[in-house]
């Protein structure tokens, strides 16, 4: 495991991440950072603007998938190059946070690939001893 709070793994025709954090907010932020790292070299993106992001789910795993898919949706529909994410709260089937970045510029930003969606395949979200852990597979 590394100090970033996430690491990627490969599955047949898809890619996944394992994320962790001391709190649910840290877990959701690290899962988002892991997903963003599959999409773009975040070092090429400036944090000049902010998008507010919210999602709802019936339980913790579905909330995580909804959160990640909402981030994907906003990046796609707003032609957004993401730099980082901050999770403000995870409570009662609701997550809210902020996505920093700037409008996408193909000449300047180094995009890695298209992440189509976070899936329920092999999905895990649990507390393991003193920290939260999640495993998410993405359709690419």
CATH number at residue 50: 3.55.10.10
Q: Where are the beta strands (DSSP E) in 22-111?
A: 49-56, 80-91, 94-103
**Tens of pLDDT along 13-71?**
689 999 999 999 999 999 999 999 999 999 999 999 999 999 999 999 999 999 999 99
Q: Is the pTM of this model over 0.85?
A: yes
**Which residues, in sequence order, are bridge partners of residue 13?**
none
Token pair of 29 as six digits? 């932020």
Q: Encoding tokens for residue 131?
A: 């920290």
CB 80 within 8 A of CB 51: yes
Strand partners, 82: 101
Instruction: Give me the domain span that covers residue 105.
Output: 6-139
Residues in the chain: 140
Residue 37 in domain: yes
What is d(CA 116, CA 24) in angstroms, rounded to the nearest whole number?
Answer: 24
Q: 1 in a domain, yes or no?
A: no
Rounded mean pLDDT of the chain?
A: 94
Query: In the prediction, which pLDDT does 8 show?
Result: 85
Is 73 a domain residue? yes
Q: How many domains does the chain have?
A: 1
């Amino acid at each position: 495991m590394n100090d970033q709070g996430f690491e990627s793994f490969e599955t047949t025709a898809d890619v996944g991440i394992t994320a962790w954090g001391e709190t649910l907010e840290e877990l959701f932020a690290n899962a988002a950072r892991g997903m963003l790292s599959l999409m773009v070299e975040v070092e090429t993106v400036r944090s000049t603007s902010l998008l507010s992001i919210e999602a709802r789910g019936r339980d913790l795993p579905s909330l995580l998938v909804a959160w990640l898919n909402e981030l994907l949706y906003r990046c796609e529909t707003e032609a957004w190059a993401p730099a980082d994410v901050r999770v403000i709260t995870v409570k009662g089937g609701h997550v809210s946070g902020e996505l920093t970045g700037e409008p996408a510029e193909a000449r300047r930003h180094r995009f890695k690939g298209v992440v189509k969606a976070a899936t329920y395949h092999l999905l895990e979200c649990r507390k393991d001893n003193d920290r939260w852990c999640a495993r998410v597979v993405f359709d690419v």
